[in-house]
Structure 1
């Protein structure tokens, strides 16, 4: 067997191995980017929910009629806040946060009006 007959299959095998390696790296980078994107979106949702809770607490102090609903447009998206009274001392905020990328998170927050503190936080 001559040397020219061995070089071609060797080069093809080497190219195939390099192709597999770069495909693996490309998929790894793409999955990391997707993960970072999801984390950023979750942080946006949490910030929106926190803004909704902060504003709802202020509204409760000035609000006399329940249920009450407000829709707010903020920098990172839109908040829909529904405030209902669950007992004499407690109100519930149903907050829906929709980010600018259209992902949604819903939270129910129970707030004790006399103690001025959140008693329960239920996501979903």
Structure 2
């Protein structure tokens, strides 16, 4: 048997297997990093929306003219708040959160003024 012709195909095959393995590991690392990045952005958006709802509930007591528009500049991004009167006891907040990386999330929140509680939260 000729052993001179076996070494080269063996080296090529092992190199290909190692290349496939490292490609798989690299793809897994990049996809995990992307997932973590998206989760962090989602949490920032939720925090901004919650801060917007908290501020809107405080502003409701002082608003006399509807619709009322407000803007908050926070560390993690900007929050736009629009307050509408739907009924005598209910207000609707349209809140838009824009993170520092320019990702946007909107929510409509229905707030009962007499009970001082959120009755409905609609994303989108």
Same fold (TM over 0.5): yes
Which residue matches 1:49? 49
Runs of 4+ in 1 over 6 A off after TM superposition: none
**Taking structure 2 as the reference length, what is the TM-score of the superposition?**
0.98
Q: Which runs of 5+ in 1 are unaligned?
A: none
DSSP 3-state at the match of 2:61: helix
Q: Which runs of 5+ in 2 are unaligned?
A: none
Which residue matches 1:69? 69
**Taking structure 1 as the reference length, what is the TM-score of the superposition?**
0.98
Aligned-partner Cα distance in 1 for 2:103–2:9: 51
> Size of the alignment, in residue pairs?
124
* Aligned alpha-carbon RMSD (Å): 0.6
Query: Over residues 85-119 of structure 1, what are the superposed CA-to-partner deviations in whole Å (9 max), with x where a residue is unaligned?
Result: 00000000000000000000000000000000000
Query: Over residues 35-92 of structure 1, what are the superposed CA-to-partner deviations in whole Å (9 max), with x where a residue is unaligned?
Result: 0000000000000000000000000011111110011110000000000000000000
Aligned-partner Cα distance in 1 for 2:4–2:38: 52
Aligned-partner Cα distance in 2 for 1:80–1:53: 10
DSSP 3-state at the match of 2:96: strand
